[in-house]
Amino acid sequence: MVRKIPHATKPIVLLLGLLLTWLLLPAVFKSYSRAGFFEFQAPLWVTAAEFKNLGDSWALRAHSKKELYETGRDLARLNSAYELKLQEIDALRDELSRLERILVLPSLPRFQYRIARVVRRDQSSWWQQLVIQKGKLHGIPVGAAVVYSGGVVGRIREVHAYTSVVELATSPGFRMAAHFDNDERPVTYQGAVNLPFSSPRGKVMNVPPDVVVTASVPRRLTSSRLGGVFPDGLTIGWVNRLTTSPDGLFQSGQPYLDKNLLSLKEVAVLIPLGTGGTP
């Protein structure tokens, strides 16, 4: 005779059955269904972002012609300044290539910039990520560096057909090689949990004991080319305090990152030239 399951234990039996079924499902099925669910919702994020862009462009139309004329003039001046800088950079690049040839040095990695709009933000205590509107179809590789005008944004974690997921530099799982301004010795940067109503922060570790920073003279923490993902010298944050570890071998601190990192609208993906990023 089959014994009837008591009402109170029925949900537990059901739960165990469901969990067991889920655990026994093949990994291939889970992987495909994950990709399917992501691709299914991606157009929603892109559409929402397009609507937002449309709203922004309509808001811009409210500006007077005088304002637009003044902005155009300012931009033209800025463009001229950048043109000069580009010429300077070309000259420096030639000089660098010449020195590399003479000294038989391996050449520095070069990158192609691909601009992408942010279509979604997930910034909780558990994870910090962005979804951008460029993916596999635009030649975005997994692991590529993502930057903005203020410096480092993060790294590409996942690439989908026409969207990519960026792990933010503020994410607790993010780590990269870094160094202080005018000090080539490498240190480790890691993301940290952001406290509410405060600037985003990270952690800097393995700092040599002779590095001195004070609250009045904070030091800039920049990206290092070690690891080959980021070019050298991009701003990560500013460190205004370092504490020595109990063994006295290294120091650690909390760099303060740019607040704009949490409200980015557009970023640039750095695609190493020659690895799918061929123009």
Partner 1 sequence: MNEDRRTLVILAVNGLLYFALNQVNAVLAPLSLHLSLDALYLLFAFLYLKTNQGLLIGFLTALFIDAALPVPFGVHTILYFCTLAALLRMRRELRRDNPRHIVLAAFWSNFFIMLGLSLLVGKGLLAQWDFWLRFCSDLAISQLLLIFLVRWWVDAQRQVLLLWDIDVGSELQQF
Contacts with partner 1 by CB under 8 A lie at: 7-8, 10-12, 14-15, 18-19, 22, 30-31, 33-38, 40-41, 44-45, 48, 120-127, 129, 131, 157, 165, 167, 172-173, 192-198, 200, 259, 262-263
For residues 1 and 8, which CB has a smaller minimum distance to partner 1 in the complex?
8
Q: Are 268 and 111 in contact (CB under 8 A)?
A: no
**Measured from the CB of residue 261, what is the shortest distance to partner 1 in angstroms?**
9
Whole-number Å distance between alpha carbons of 231 and 234? 7
For residues 146 and 211, which CB has a smaller minimum distance to partner 1 in the complex?
146
**Measured from the CB of residue 11, what is the shortest distance to partner 1 in angstroms?**
4
Q: How big is the chain, counted in residues? A: 279
CB atoms within 10 A of CB 203: 16
**Measured from the CB of residue 165, what is the shortest distance to partner 1 in angstroms?**
8
**Measured from the CB of residue 189, what is the shortest distance to partner 1 in angstroms?**
16
For residues 36 and 208, which CB has a smaller minimum distance to partner 1 in the complex?
36
For residues 91 and 195, which CB has a smaller minimum distance to partner 1 in the complex?
195
Burial state string for 20-55 with b = 16 or more CB within 10 A and e = fewer than 16: eeeeeeeeeeeeeeeeeeeeeebeebbeebeeeeee
Provide the token pair at 61. Answer: 């139309």
CA torsion sign for 166, 277, 88, 74 is: negative
- HSE value, Cβ hemisphere, 13 Å, CA-based, for 79: 6
For residues 40 and 76, which CB has a smaller minimum distance to partner 1 in the complex?
40
**Measured from the CB of residue 9, what is the shortest distance to partner 1 in angstroms?**
9
For residues 231 and 253, which CB has a smaller minimum distance to partner 1 in the complex?
253
**Measured from the CB of residue 119, what is the shortest distance to partner 1 in angstroms?**
10
Q: Are 251 and 259 in contact (CB under 8 A)?
A: no
